[in-house]
Chains A and B, each alone.
Chain A
Amino acid sequence: MSAEKTKKTIPYTVPIGPVHPALKEPVMFTFGMEGEIVKTVDFAPGQTHRGIEWMGMRRNPVQIVHMTDRVCGICGIVHSLSFARAVEQIVGIEVPERADYIRTILHELERIQSHLLWAGVAAHELGFDSLFYLAWRVREQSMDLIENLTGNRVNYGIIQIGGVRRDISSEQRSLIEKGLAYYQGLLDKMATLFLEDSTVRMRCRDHGFLSENDARILCAVGPTARASGLNMDVRQDYPYCAYGDLDVKAILPPAETGGPRGDVYDRIIVRLLEIGQSVEIIRQCLESLPPGEILWEPKMAKLLAACKKAEGEAIGRVEAPRGECMHYVRMAGKEAPESWKIKASSYSNLMSWIPMLQGEQLADIPIIVASIDPCLSCTDRVAVTRNGRSAILTKEDLTRLSREKTRRMMQ
């Protein structure tokens, strides 16, 4: 739409962000409003760029794996697992079976806490703070479990290239079982509290609609895509770690709740059901937890030497709580990787905001924005600053820069 036309049809432009109390993550929105109704949506991510990939390209893989924990405060396991899997493919490391199972257990515990965190945030965005406190109260159980297994509450530091750093002892095993029983008993209650509540139903049913086709065209991933009816899950489609041995099926909103409609309510259903699925996966893992080593090479000097010799490129794919997360790594016989690129799951999901928000009311913006569980500190990768001013590069600019680079390289 040209600037002149925009002026005629849309009386108000409402900017929200980059930092706004209604948004949990820093992102700049520009809404074209007609009365209370959102007509056009534009957003600009890139407000929390930290240059973590630049730091990584000056460090060896053993150092980077601890930095990947800090890419996101919620997906500590996801990013380090994804990076470790990329490096393992390049170096040709075969991860011991026990380590694979421990990775899976932690990965699923993380999904439980992430989904409960999201459920709390969603309730808070609706103004339903008692439900928010309740969701975060029950989330503590999984946080305590993770803390006990890894040593820390947030930056776990448990994944190592070629395995995990800490084993699960028999006492910890019984702790996990206790935690699983706790969540098993809680699932029905959480489902009742969220899905049978008239406030939640009123605000979420048929709001933030994303059709199956839009989800496919905009490459949505994770619960956002599954709530719209796309049958996709990296754990099911390209099994990694122990998922190949386990029974994992992508969770779609069941037909008895109205089938996949692709609204905010469906996204709540998918996430709540996935908590139950995670509990089931952890139980399966504990049952068939094989004995053996947990590291491919316990001597770090040997591991570093093997990484230094390796050449090649690989992509590590992992199903994060928010969707597919990818780490691309290229190593060229040096201590540090030649290239490292993170594609966080929210990056794929952000575009689905545009069809979701169009036609909704201003007051629905927070819950719809939150409904894809955006994580901008994972996502933000490119910001260009020149002479102290930051500029946003358009597609044309990028094409021009790319052509110039090709020309430079051909000379």
Chain B
Amino acid sequence: MAGLPLLPELLRQLFSRPATNTFPSRHLPSSVTGFLAKVARGEATIHPPVPTPPKFRGKIVYDREACIGCSLCLRVCPAHAIEFIPETKRVRIYVTQCIFCSQCNDVCPKDALHMSPEFLLATEDRYAESQIVE
């Protein structure tokens, strides 16, 4: 096709499956918040997102028992998302501040910090219980 090389490709694409994964629902609901409320009530199910890769860095997980309170993680955190609590000699992590670089995971001598594959973290309250790990 002179001058229109995309045309055959476009015709072929008419018969192939869409490349995108529809999320959170298979078809666009009239209201996304209404759909999510339905999901919360158990009336609808979420169409699953694309699976995360093996070493994905999601919400941080903290093993309080393994921690020795050395506060090395505070020194390497670029976002100042980790706070040291002197009374308990343990740390508190603010997920809303975290930039998910996992540098604290690398530096921890006791392997007390890990990244989970959880990534749907948006809330309206940055100090909500789900946003603070301790």
Query: Contact flags (1/0) for B90-123 with A, using CB distance below 8 Å?
Result: 0000000001111100110000000100000000
Query: Contact flags (1/0) for A253-270 with B, using CB distance below 8 Å?
Result: 000000000000000000
Residue from A151, A155, A165 whose CB has the most chain B CB atoms within 10 Å: A151
**Is the CB of A102 closer than 8 A to any CB of chain B?**
no
Stretch of A3-11, A25-33, A191-199, A377-385 with 4 or more beta carbons under 8 angstroms from chain B: A191-199
Name B's interface SS. Answer: loop
Nearest B residue to A144, CB-CB: B53
Would you call B107 and A198 a contact (CB within 8 A)? no
Query: Contact flags (1/0) for B46-72 with A, using CB distance below 8 Å?
Result: 000000011111000000000000001
Name A's interface SS. Answer: helix
B contact set with A: CB distance below 8 Å: 2-6, 9-10, 19, 53-57, 72, 75-78, 99-103, 106-107, 115
Q: Closest 4 CB pairs between A and B?
A: A198-B3, A63-B78, A66-B101, A151-B55
23 A-B residue pairs with Cβ-Cβ distance under 8 Å, sorted by A, are A59-B78, A60-B76, A62-B76, A63-B78, A63-B103, A66-B78, A66-B99, A130-B6, A130-B10, A140-B19, A144-B53, A150-B55, A152-B56, A157-B101, A189-B9, A196-B3, A196-B5, A197-B4, A197-B5, A197-B6, A198-B2, A300-B103, A304-B75
Which of B2, B72, B78 has a CB less than 8 Å from the CB of A67?
Answer: B78
Task: Give the number of chain A interface residues (Cβ < 8 Å).
Answer: 33
Nearest B residue to A67, CB-CB: B78
Task: For residue A29, give the distance in angstroms from its CB to the closest CB of chain B.
Answer: 31
Task: For residue B98, give the distance in angstroms from its CB to the closest CB of chain A.
Answer: 11
Q: A70-B99, A134-B9 are in contact. Are A63 and B57 (CB under 8 A)?
A: no
**Is the CB of A137 closer than 8 A to any CB of chain B?**
yes
Known: A69-B101, A157-B57. 8 other contacts (CB 8 A): A59-B78, A131-B6, A140-B19, A151-B102, A157-B100, A193-B9, A197-B5, A300-B103
Residue from A60, A66, A137, A144 whose CB has the most chain B CB atoms within 10 Å: A66
Residue from A67, A137, A300 whose CB has the most chain B CB atoms within 10 Å: A300
